[in-house]
Each structure stands twice: as C-alpha cells, then as structure tokens.
Amino acid sequence: MKALKAFALVLSVLSLTVEAATQTPAPASGDLDVTDLRMFVEVMDQVRSSYVEPVPDHQLWVYAVRGLLESLDPHSEFLDAQEYQDLKDDTSGSFDGVGLELGRDHGELKVIAPIDDSPAAKAGIKAGDMIVRLNGQLVHGQNYQRILDQMRGNPGTHLKLTIMRPGSTAPLEFDLVRQMIAVSTVHGRWLESGYALIRISMFAETTGKDVENAIHQLQHTGTVHGLVLDLRNNPGGVLTSAIDVADDFLDHGVIVSTRGRLPESNHQFLASPGQLLPGVPLVVLINSGTASAAEIVSGALQDHHRALIMGTTSFGKGSVQSVLSLNDNQGIKLTTARYFTPNGRSIQAQGITPDLVVMPADVTVHSSNSLYKEANLAGHLENPQAGAASDEESSISSKENQLVTSDFQLYQALSVVKAASLLQASSTPTSMRKVQ
C-alpha cells in the first residue's frame, strides 16, 4: 500500500511538473523535454491501470530502469542486490553456473567465450555460438538480465541449451550440469624444452600476480628462450589486471588510455620500469573470443612491438564499464569511456588484427620417413653419436606431432617463437652468449 501511494504521489508530482513546464519556454538542448516527460507519465499510468495482469509498482520502476540502460549499448545494465553480488563473485574468481561469457548481438544471445575447464567448455560450446533456447524457452525478446539469472543455479542442477552455430544448418542441443566455477585464470607449462606457454582464461583480481608466479615457477625448472601468451577465448574482466599483465612484459610507455565525457574517465596508464622476460621472444595468440581486457593486453604489446600477435581478429569490445553503487546494495554497470591502444587506436567493433593470421585447422600428420636416405643404403657408415641424438629428436617429433593435431594455432605460435629465438641467438656474438 505504501508503494502504491508513493507511486501515485510521484505521478502527481510529475504531472504537476509537466503542467508547470508547459507555461515556460522550450528547454535548451540537454534539458528535460516536457513532451517526453508527459509521455513517460502516461505510459506508466496506462500500464498500471490497463495491463492484462497487475504489476507491482516497484517492479515497474525496475523495468523502466533496466530498459533505459539496456537500450544504451550491449554492456550497460541495472544490477539488483543479487546481480551486484554475482558481479563481485565473477571478478573474485568463483561462481555457480556453466561457465559462459555472453553478450547481446542485435537482440540475440551470443557466446563470447566459454571459460576453460567449465561444463560449457567441456561440452564443446564455442565462441560465436548463438543461444536460441534456454530450457526449451526461446531467449529472443527476453530480458537480458533474466536470461543471465537463469544461467546460474545450484551446483548439480541441469541447464539445457539449444545453440545455432555459424555454418551449421541444424541446431545443437546441450545438457549441462551447473557447478561451482572456481576459475584458475592462469596456467603455465612447458611446450618443449626452453619454450613455455602461459594461458590466461580471463582477467580476475589476482591475474596479474598469478602471471608473475607462473613465470617464476617456470624459471625455477628451466630457462625460458621463448614464450607463447594464449589469450584465445579470453572474455576480459578486470581492467587493472590487464594493465598489470601488459606491464609484466613492458618497461616503459603507455599501456592503454581511456577517454570519456567526464574528466575522471580520462586516464593514461603507463608501464613501470623493468619486465619479467626482457629480450625473450613473445607471441600472443588471439581469436574472435578475445575481448575487452584481453584486447588491451594484445594491443599494448602489439603497438610497442614487444610481441607478435597471431591467430584471428579479436572480438572488438573497446568500451569501459564503470560499476556505480546505488542504495540497498544495488548498482548499475554503465559505459563511461572508450579505451585506446598506445598508438591511439580504438578497437571498438573492429578488434585487434593479428600480425600473422592463422586459422584454426584440423591437421593430419603424414610420415616423412623415406627409404631413400643415407641410413637406408647398404654399407653406410654409422654415426657414433646417433643414439642420444635420435632419442632426443624422436621425443621432440612426438610432442610436435601431438601439438599440430590437437592445436594447430598453438603449434604455429611455437614454431614462430622458436624461429625468433634461434635467429636472436645466431645474431648474438659468441662472446656475448650466456653459457646455459
């Protein structure tokens, strides 16, 4: 009853404001337009009195706010108390769900990227997939936040998705089981002796520090001659973590700048002196699922010529969202600025273009053995060093064959970073080379 009276009072005040405003000159550009205000009051009043079912007054206001924000761009939204807490959980590195980063594309629900090791990733859902049904219900026309709420749920519960994949004529059905997604955002490992991989699945609050720790752990077990930084299907995340990661590989210059309408939205973030792997060749892998904060890292390393960018063009999200707190633990996520790479490039709706385009591919390895080699000739001289060398070559060949068939883009990245390292070593005078 109190809400109803409050609503009626607001409508009365708005109506009086409209009446008073009609007696004044037309507003200047940017001021509240009387006609628009009258339209809003009339629509709200008609919904309250004539909609087929009664809607709580509070819910009408929430709908109005959601519509206002969601109509601005795909990334601005209202956050009620639960959604506000969910956002905090996402950036802290754990939440309940199936592990999908989603976005809106002309009213459709699009997969930006599945999170590594999540139910969605294990089931085979890919960046670019369009979700058309959720638990049998069409998602087209549904409120975006309501859809996201349905994606979450208690661990062990099922979520059924119907997906259309680009290039496919038939829908794909997935039955996923929700779980606690404890996101370990950084994984480091050796691809082969001297050449390492750092995979970043998203940017959470601790990602910058986690990258440093991963590299230090690798250095404890060997010397890093070349590094592949894998940012494929990385949907972004915390801006400051992306800046920290870029700073790990840069020692001067601009990492990223942001520009908005308000002075506090204009920032320039600079690299600090010193870096983790000075002089070590670096390749960054990106694809269409590389978005936002991951594009900031890619663009910074590309503009400073610190890394070679390989893969396919990234997602193209070049806007900055600020989370602004409201009363009752609610908030809004509002686009407040665009970001620019060190060279002043905006990647909004365009993406980062790789230096070397490498498409994903399925590769079949054919044996290169031939009967027409010196070793096949009768009476050939034996190589006294053949035993140790052939064992090592066989081990490397086996790993490369496995990599080229499982992940062609990563195989190509490894080949490039090895070539860069070998060229670097061959151009260094012998007297200046470190003894390993």
Give the whole-number percent of the chain exceeding pLDDT 90: 59
User: In terms of domains, do 274 and 307 share one?
Assistant: yes
User: CB neighbours (10 Å) of residue 109?
Assistant: 24
Cβ 349 vs Cβ 316: under 8 Å: yes
Cβ 328 vs Cβ 81: under 8 Å: yes
pLDDT 10s digits, 398-421: 777 889 888 999 999 999 999 999
> Which range marks the domain in which residue 150 is found?
94-182
Catalytic residue among 76, 244, 247, 317: 317
Q: Judge whether 116 counts as a catalytic residue.
A: no
pLDDT 10s digits, 203-221: 988 999 999 999 999 999 9
User: CB neighbours (10 Å) of residue 179?
Assistant: 16
Q: Judge whether 265 counts as a catalytic residue.
A: no
What total number of domains does the chain contain? Answer: 2
Q: Where are the beta strands (DSSP E) in 292-436?
A: 308-311, 319-325, 331-340, 356-357
3-state secondary structure of 157: coil
Name which residue leads in pLDDT, 133 or 405. Answer: 133
Name which residue leads in pLDDT, 436 or 1. Answer: 1
User: HSE (CB half, 13 Å, CA atoms) of 238?
Assistant: 20
| Per-residue confidence band for 393, with pLDDT thresholds at 50, 70 and 90 | low
User: In terms of domains, do 173 and 193 share one?
Assistant: no
User: CB neighbours (10 Å) of residue 198?
Assistant: 23
pLDDT 10s digits, 242-256: 999 999 999 999 999
User: In terms of domains, do 134 and 240 share one?
Assistant: no
**Boundary (domain end) residue, out of 121, 154, 182:** 182
User: In terms of domains, do 273 and 129 share one?
Assistant: no
pTM for the model stands at: 0.79
Catalytic residue among 292, 298, 314, 421: 292
User: In terms of domains, do 169 and 205 share one?
Assistant: no
Inform me whether the pLDDT recorded for 27 exceeds 90.
no
| Pairing of the two strands 195-200 and 226-230 | parallel
Query: Mean pLDDT over residues 183-191, rounded?
Result: 89
Q: How far apart are CA 363 and CA 399, in angstroms?
A: 14
Instruction: Report the candidate in 320, 316, 332, 317 with the shortest Cα–Cα distance to residue 258.
Output: 320
User: In terms of domains, do 245 and 258 share one?
Assistant: yes
Report the CATH number that the domain containing residue 200 is assigned in CATH: 3.90.226.10
pLDDT 10s digits, 289-339: 999 999 999 999 999 999 999 999 999 999 999 999 998 889 999 999 999
Query: Mean pLDDT over residues 264-279, rounded?
Result: 96
Burial 50-83 (b: 16+ CB within 10 A, else e): eeeeeeebeebeeeebbeebbeeebbbbbbbeeb
User: In terms of domains, do 204 and 254 share one?
Assistant: yes
Q: What confidence score (pLDDT) does residue 143 get?
A: 77
Q: Which amino acid is at 256?
A: V
Q: What confidence score (pLDDT) does residue 179 get?
A: 93
Q: What confidence score (pLDDT) does residue 368 get?
A: 64
Q: Judge whether 399 counts as a catalytic residue.
A: no
Report the CATH number that the domain containing residue 141 is assigned in CATH: 2.30.42.10
Inform me whether the pLDDT recorded for 117 exceeds 70.
yes
Instruction: Report the candidate in 192, 249, 200, 248 with the shortest Cα–Cα distance to residue 225.
Output: 192
Q: What confidence score (pLDDT) does residue 429 get?
A: 61
Inform me whether the pLDDT recorded for 25 exceeds 80.
no
Q: What confidence score (pLDDT) does residue 433 get?
A: 46
Q: Which amino acid is at 83?
A: E
User: CB neighbours (10 Å) of residue 145?
Assistant: 17
User: In terms of domains, do 175 and 218 share one?
Assistant: no
Catalytic residue among 129, 303, 333, 421: 303
User: In terms of domains, do 194 and 152 share one?
Assistant: no
Q: What confidence score (pLDDT) does residue 16 get?
A: 46
Name the residue with tokens 């706010």: 65
Q: Which amino acid is at 293?
A: A
